[in-house]
């Protein structure tokens, strides 16, 4: 799920934390069977922040633990159902920006690999980018 993430990396300069290929089972969607049976979701997250202090100090306290962002994604995807992937992505992005003031920009990609379409696909999904100055409350 990383094809367009590189495009944003070139547009948004600076350091970032990268989480790729996170897989969770959730109950999001508008169809009754999606809400009853659930399905697998694939998540990618980029969180832009200054990593130089951690690079110099080698202390976890000068950065954000990957597991903290992973936990946010897990809680959202495995939590309360949403109708739209856009809403899932928005809640992840908003929560990251609220909990971690050192993050200036976050990119969240949410994909569904098992969709009812007439043809082969790796996944269908959404990608959002939220900046601290334009972040919308969840």
Show which residues are catalytic.
Answer: 112
Is residue 96 within 8 Å of 103, Cβ to Cβ?
yes
20: three-class secondary structure by DSSP: strand
Q: Is 77 exposed, middle or buried (0-12, 13-18, 19+ CB in 10 A)?
A: buried
Task: Sheet containing 16-26: give its strands across.
Answer: 16-26, 39-48, 105-112, 124-131
What are the backbone dihedrals phi and psi of residue 105, each rounded to the nearest 5 degrees, phi first? -145, 145
CA distance linking residue 107 with residue 52, whole number of Å: 20
- Identify which of 19, 5, 17, 1 has the alpha carbon closest to the alpha carbon of residue 104: 17
């Amino acid at each position: 799920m990383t094809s367009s993430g590189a495009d944003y990396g070139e547009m948004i300069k600076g350091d970032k934390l990268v989480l790729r290929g996170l897989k969770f089972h959730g109950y999001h969607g508008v169809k009754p069977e999606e809400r009853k049976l659930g399905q697998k979701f694939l998540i990618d997250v980029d969180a832009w922040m200054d990593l130089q202090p951690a690079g110099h100090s080698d202390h976890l306290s000068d950065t954000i633990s990957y597991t903290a962002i992973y936990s946010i994604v897990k809680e959202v995807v495995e939590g309360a159902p949403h109708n739209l992937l856009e809403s899932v992505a928005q809640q992840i992005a908003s929560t990251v920006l609220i909990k971690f003031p050192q993050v200036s920009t976050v990119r969240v990609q949410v994909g569904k690999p098992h969709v009812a379409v007439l043809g082969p696909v790796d996944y269908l999904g959404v990608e959002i980018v939220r900046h601290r100055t334009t972040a919308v409350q969840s």
